[in-house]
Amino acid sequence: MTDIVVKTVEELKSAPEEYREAVSKLVISHAINELYGAQVFDEPAIALAPNPYAKWLTCRVAMEEYGHHVRFKGLGTQIGIPEERMVPGPGKKPLSIFEFPLKTWEEFVAIKLLADLAEILQVEDLLHCTFHPLRNLARATMPEERFHAQFGEDFSAELVKTPEGKARLQAAVDEYWPYLPKFFGGSKSKNNEIFRKWKIKQRTNDEMREDFVKRATEVAAKYGLTLPEVRQAA
């Protein structure tokens, strides 16, 4: 471990190159994935939402996700990352989950229930980041991420009230769940090693993945849902 605390964007300029690069990679990753999430899932979900209450709630969620992108991009700009590196484009491979366009409202609810939980874990890991502008950004983002996961829980609770709704939601969980643990990156990720070396991030990808599977299993069980791996293991 290497002890360093960077309190301002100005101080980052004199931080070691490896530290600066690690911070940049993380900011780029968050900026791109927040934008993908908003474009691929949140925005199309507005049309699928069943009533104006759900539609406007989804509007707000979509805007907050765009807002997260704007925040990360804003920080990236401050630390000198060119804007084109922080938006989706050629040569930038999105996470595999973003390659499956949304088809139903139940899919969106499943994504909010589980994928936003994965987001919470990623943001949680930045709450003690040694680069304080990124730590502060994570702290500002966290309440909104928690609200998005709660959105998933609230609409899951609605859907499971009927056997048909529960079956549709379970089918959506079955479809999307296999892509989610990959959110946390490879077991032997060199990037993660560097993030932890500088205490930019705190946990290994495997530790986070394990925690995610545990928490996702618990939250799914609250609504009588099961996760594919859990069923296979039973």
Partner 1 sequence: MIFMGPLRIEVRTASWFAALGEPLTDGDRAEAKIYADTDEVQLVTSWPDAERFLKSPATLDWWEREETLRKELLARAEARHPERAFWTALTELTTEAGDLVHGKAATAAARMTGAAPASIHVAAGAASQAVYQLGVARMAGETASLFESKFRLFAAGRWPLGVAGSRLVLF
Q: Which of residues 82-141 bind partner 1 (CB under 8 A)?
A: none
* Candidates 59-67, 108-116, 130-138, 170-178; binding stretch for partner 1 (CB under 8 A): 59-67
Reported as half-sphere exposure (CB side, CA atoms, 13 A), residue 71 has a value of 19
For residue 103, CA distances in Å to 21, 110, 228 come to: 38, 12, 20
Stretch that binds partner 1, among 15-23, 46-54, 123-131, 222-230 (CB under 8 A): 46-54
Q: Which is nearer to partner 1, 63 or 213 (CB)?
A: 63
Residue whose pair of structure tokens reads 């705190």 in the numeric block? 202
Q: How far from chain centre, in Å, is Cα 206?
A: 16
Paired tokens of 147: 């609200």
Q: Which is nearer to partner 1, 87 or 213 (CB)?
A: 87
- Euclidean distance between the first and the last CA atom of the chain, given in angstroms as a whole number: 39
Q: Pick from 22, 27, 58, 86: which binds partner 1 (CB under 8 A)?
A: 58
**Tokens standing for 90?**
């050629």
Can residue 233 be called a binding residue for partner 1 (CB under 8 A)?
A: no
Q: Binding to partner 1 by residue 59, rule CB under 8 A?
A: yes
Residue 199 DSSP one-character state: T
Residue 2: other Cβ atoms inside 10 A:
12
Q: Please tell me the distance from the alpha carbon of residue 227 to that of residue 234, in angstroms, as a whole number.
A: 11
Looking at 62-70, 113-121, 130-138, 208-216, which segment touches partner 1 (CB under 8 A)? 62-70
Q: How many CA atoms lie within 13 A of 168 on its CB side?
A: 18
Under rule CB under 8 A, how many of the chain's residues touch partner 1? 20
Q: CB of residue 81 vs partner 1: minimum separation in angstroms?
A: 16
Pick 148 or 209: Cβ nearer partner 1: 148
The stretch among 52-60, 92-100, 114-122, 193-201 that binds partner 1 (CB under 8 A) is 52-60
Min CB(62)–partner 1 separation in Å:
8
- Pick the piece of the chain touching partner 1 (CB under 8 A) from 10-18, 65-73, 105-113, 185-193: 65-73
Give Cβ neighbours of residue 106 (< 8 Å, ≥ 6 apart).
159, 165, 168, 169, 171, 172
Q: Which of residues 130-189 bind partner 1 (CB under 8 A)?
A: 147, 151, 154
Binding site for partner 1 (CB under 8 A): 47, 51-61, 63-64, 66-67, 70, 147, 151, 154
